Chains A and B, each alone.
Chain A
Amino acid sequence: MIKLITGAVVLAGCAALGMFFASGFRRRVQQLVELENVFAQLEFDIDYLSIPLDESFEKAAKNSCGAISEMFLYITDRLRKNRCCDMQMVWKRAIDRSKDDLFLSDDDKRILTDFSKTLGSGNKEKEKNNIKMTLMRLKLAEDEARTAAECNVKMYRGLGILTGVFIVIVLI
């Protein structure tokens, strides 16, 4: 009976571990989609409303959740507290602060820091071009993340269960 319970616990644990790793791929896709929405909103705010970046980022923080929201809250706070801040440095720090909850790859993060390089220093056209380029790169990253998720989610789930089964067999 004890063996049976232990086996079940090990199996469930390994399956959960597999699910946990698999969820990272799904969360990456979700966060990339969330970022795309934020950038689409940002384009609207710049093009039609002409509102300053801190106001737009505050909206972005409200409209998103989790790590993405935290990231934009931090950027808004820094822009308001220190107008002379280095924009790219602020973005790097924001990404770094949320790194435990961000499921983005290094390449995804580079898209964001590249975006921040010239952010806020140009006219509408320049800002719109910068956003369009970023959206395009995010879309490509999203496609790649979806493909990776399709393969890896199943693989990690299966791997989790199989590892569990293997351990149970070895233990028995």
Chain B
Amino acid sequence: MNMRIAEILGYVPDNLRVMLRKTFELTGDTLQEIRIRCGLPLIVNTSHGSFAVLPNGEISPAVGGAYIIKSSDLKRVFQAICENSVYAYAEDIKQGFVTIRGGHRVGITGRASVCSGRVESFREISSLNIRVAREVVGAANNIVDSIITPGKVKNTLLVAPPMGGKTTVLRDLARQISDQGIKTSIADDRGELACIYKGIPQNNVGVQTDVIENASKAEAVIMLLRSMSPQVIITDEISTAKDAESISQCFGTGVTVVATTHGDNAEDVRARPILKDLFGSMGFEQIIVLRKEGVGLNTEIFGTVSEVN
């Protein structure tokens, strides 16, 4: 069994552990999510589809006979992902997820407790979604030479539609840039790139990498710029005007930015109002559109269409 996936077993009670150990052996590296919903069947999502987990750990496309999650199961898993210290994870819970050992992210839903229009915590937890962390070493091999040129890293915007592999490529790119001795900083507002657990990145993002996780991108980029003297700043998904503004402040300072955004092609991206100011003489030097050429975990190959300004 994949050791990283096996880490998840440390967060479930004994009865689920026995069941899921068998399930993990069956699903192998195709496992993507484990859905734990109170009073509903235990479901695993794999790259081959969605399956219900039977009490003996076998998986079935039909939910009949599946193991039904008890509220005590859900409570135990929630307590475990919070290391039996819910107060210590209050900020993560507010954001709706907790990162556990192995870099897996556990999404939380339920009856929210709201204060001043913002979610403060959850009064009752109704479901948890353990998203299996995946790291594809070498995912950026096809594009790395277009970005790291002799003596310079190019300001680059990676573009792909949702689920197009942007984060996977960006993570590997961070590792490859950093491992060349280039001081790299990551502004990771959703904790998806490095997946820090107790201060240690669970994904290999390189030896020269500093990470700010869970802070707003706009704030994190400026903080990194001021405090860590980075040569390259890496950030995922520019989606708001504030994100774009903070990135524009990096241009012209000698710091290179490698970022991603949703999109299908370079023209659409250039035309987006929040992004249009990021191109030009001091902005992104190239847009790389990612196309998924292969299917299947660990065999994904990301082809590129590079469009240089």
The residue in chain A whose Cβ has the minimal distance to the Cβ of B78 is A121
* B208 CB, nearest partner CB in chain A, Å: 29
Chain A residues lying within 8 Å of B10, measured Cβ to Cβ, are 83
Q: What 0/1 readout, one digit per residue, does chain B (142-174) give for beta carbons within 8 Å of chain A?
A: 000000000000000000000000000000000
A162 to B209, CA, bound (A): 75
A121 to B88, CA, bound (A): 10
A51 to B199, CA, bound (A): 13
A50 to B85, CA, bound (A): 9
Q: Which of B62-85 contact A (CB under 8 A)?
A: 75-77, 79-80, 82-85
* A76 CB, nearest partner CB in chain B, Å: 11
A113 to B79, CA, bound (A): 18
> Which residue, B14, B77, B82, has most C-beta atoms of chain A within 10 A?
B82
- A46 in contact (CB, < 8 A): yes
Given B14, B17, B84, which contacts A54 in the complex, CB threshold below 8 Å? B84
Given B12, B85, B88, which contacts A84 in the complex, CB threshold below 8 Å? B12
A46 to B13, CA, bound (A): 25
Given B12, B75, B77, B88, which contacts A52 in the complex, CB threshold below 8 Å? B88
Contact across chains for A122 and B87 when beta carbons are under 8 A apart: yes
Chain B residues lying within 8 Å of A51, measured Cβ to Cβ, are 85, 88
A87 to B84, CA, bound (A): 8
**Interface SS of chain B: helix, strand, loop or mixed?**
helix
Chain B residues lying within 8 Å of A126, measured Cβ to Cβ, are 87
* A93 CB, nearest partner CB in chain B, Å: 15
The residue in chain B whose Cβ has the minimal distance to the Cβ of A80 is B83
- A117 in contact (CB, < 8 A): no
* A10 CB, nearest partner CB in chain B, Å: 54
- B121 in contact (CB, < 8 A): yes
Count the A residues whose beta carbon is within 8 Å of the partner chain — how many? 19
A23 to B68, CA, bound (A): 55
Q: What 0/1 readout, one digit per residue, does chain B (285-307) give for beta carbons within 8 Å of chain A?
A: 00000000000000000000000
A120 to B85, CA, bound (A): 4
Contact across chains for B83 and A121 when beta carbons are under 8 A apart: no
Chain A residues lying within 8 Å of B76, measured Cβ to Cβ, are 84
- A79 in contact (CB, < 8 A): yes
> Which residue, B17, B79, B84, B88, has most C-beta atoms of chain A within 10 A?
B84
The residue in chain A whose Cβ has the minimal distance to the Cβ of B77 is A84
Chain B residues lying within 8 Å of A120, measured Cβ to Cβ, are 79, 82, 84-86
Contact across chains for B121 and A83 when beta carbons are under 8 A apart: no
**Interface SS of chain A: helix, strand, loop or mixed?**
loop
A84 to B9, CA, bound (A): 10
- B90 in contact (CB, < 8 A): yes
* B263 CB, nearest partner CB in chain A, Å: 39
- B11 in contact (CB, < 8 A): yes
The residue in chain B whose Cβ has the minimal distance to the Cβ of A86 is B76
The residue in chain B whose Cβ has the minimal distance to the Cβ of A122 is B86
Contact across chains for A79 and B87 when beta carbons are under 8 A apart: no
Contact across chains for A121 and B121 when beta carbons are under 8 A apart: no
Chain B residues lying within 8 Å of A53, measured Cβ to Cβ, are 83-85
Q: Which of A99-133 contact B (CB under 8 A)?
A: 119-124, 126-127
* A127 CB, nearest partner CB in chain B, Å: 5
A52 to B88, CA, bound (A): 6
The residue in chain A whose Cβ has the minimal distance to the Cβ of B83 is A52
Contact across chains for A121 and B79 when beta carbons are under 8 A apart: yes
Chain A residues lying within 8 Å of B85, measured Cβ to Cβ, are 51-54, 120
Q: Which of B179-216 contact A (CB under 8 A)?
A: none
Interface residues of A (CB under 8 A from B): 46, 50-54, 79, 83-85, 87, 119-124, 126-127
23 contacts between A and B (CB under 8 A): A50-B90, A52-B84, A52-B85, A53-B83, A54-B83, A54-B84, A54-B85, A79-B83, A83-B11, A84-B11, A84-B12, A84-B13, A84-B14, A84-B77, A84-B80, A87-B79, A87-B84, A120-B79, A121-B75, A121-B79, A121-B86, A123-B87, A123-B121
Interface residues of B (CB under 8 A from A): 10-14, 17, 75-77, 79-80, 82-88, 90, 121
Using A50-B90, A84-B13 as known contacts, list a sample of 19 further A-B pairs with CB atoms less than 8 Å apart, ordered by residue number in A: A46-B87, A46-B88, A51-B88, A52-B83, A52-B84, A54-B83, A79-B83, A83-B10, A83-B11, A83-B79, A83-B84, A84-B14, A84-B80, A120-B79, A120-B85, A121-B75, A123-B87, A123-B90, A124-B87
